[in-house]
Amino acid sequence: MSSRRLLKAAEAIRGVVSMAILTELRDPRVQNVTVVGVEVTPDMREAKVLVSVMGSDAQQRTVLKGLQNSVGFLQSKIADRIETRYIPRLSFVIDDGVKKSVAVQQILEQIAKERDGKASDDPPLEDKSIEEILDDLAPDGEFEDEDSEEDTQGKKRRKQ
């Protein structure tokens, strides 16, 4: 089976599962869940659903148990909406990518606050023109001279 077909099937499964969790699943344990992606085996018999859960580790485990208990319901929703030879057996895995990206964002914000806290004589880059930034990087104007010489020589060669 082509990888493009697998990707389309995975995306269809992701859509069905995410909508079913959002609108039809009545389990009170399943809250604050985002379906991040789905990985399907080449034979379409198994699908790993990657979910992101906002909350503590205990809340994540509780949500994961609730999702595992609702596998049959979610597989029936897939069977109703997607026409395939086999209905994939679902398994749920916590994806930490979203939490890691939030942590990286917090670190970057902290670095920016620390940088702003230090006194600096230079104005921020937003206040500078492109020429001023290039002058700071190369005060001798070495960027412009090298590029212009190469461009001139290249143009001469092309004319010949």
Over residues 7-42, the pLDDT tens digits come to: 999 999 999 999 999 999 999 999 999 999 999 999
Q: Look at residue 26 in the predicted model and tell me its pLDDT.
A: 92
Tell me the pLDDT tens digit for each residue of 33-85.
999 999 999 999 999 999 999 888 899 999 999 999 999 999 999 999 998 88
Res. 147 pLDDT band, cuts 50 70 90? very low
Residues 85 and 119 in one domain: no
Residue 104 covered by a domain:
no
Q: What is the pLDDT of residues 118-136, one digit of tens each?
A: 645 555 555 666 566 556 6
Q: Is residue 122 part of a domain?
A: yes
- Is residue 65 within 8 Å of 22, Cβ to Cβ? no
Domain end position, chosen among 70, 98, 126: 98
Q: Which residue type is seen at 21?
A: I
CATH number at residue 55: 3.30.300.20
CB-based burial, 108-139: b 16+ in 10 Å, e otherwise: eeeeeeeeeeeeeeeeeeeeeeeeeeeeeeee
Determine, yes or no, domain membership for 64: yes
The band of 146, judged by pLDDT with boundaries at 50, 70 and 90, is very low
Do 93 and 117 fall within a single domain? no
Same domain? 75 vs 12? yes
What is the tally of structural domains in the chain? 2
Domain membership of residue 72 (yes or no) is yes
How far does the chain reach from its first CA to its final CA, in angstroms? Answer: 53
Kindly state whether residue 108 falls inside one of the protein's structural domains: no
| Structure tokens given for 87 | 């209905």
SS3 120: coil
For 91, the 3-state DSSP assignment is strand
pTM: 0.64
Q: Give the residue, 139 or 65, on which the prediction is more confident.
A: 65
Residues 12, 52 within the same domain = yes
Q: Are both 75 and 118 inside the same structural domain?
A: no
Under 8 Å CB-to-CB from 90, ≥6 apart: which residues?
17, 47, 49, 71, 74, 75, 78
Structural domain including 71 reads 3-98
Q: Minimal CA–CA distance to 32: which of 68, 16, 56? A: 56
Domain membership flag for residue 128: yes
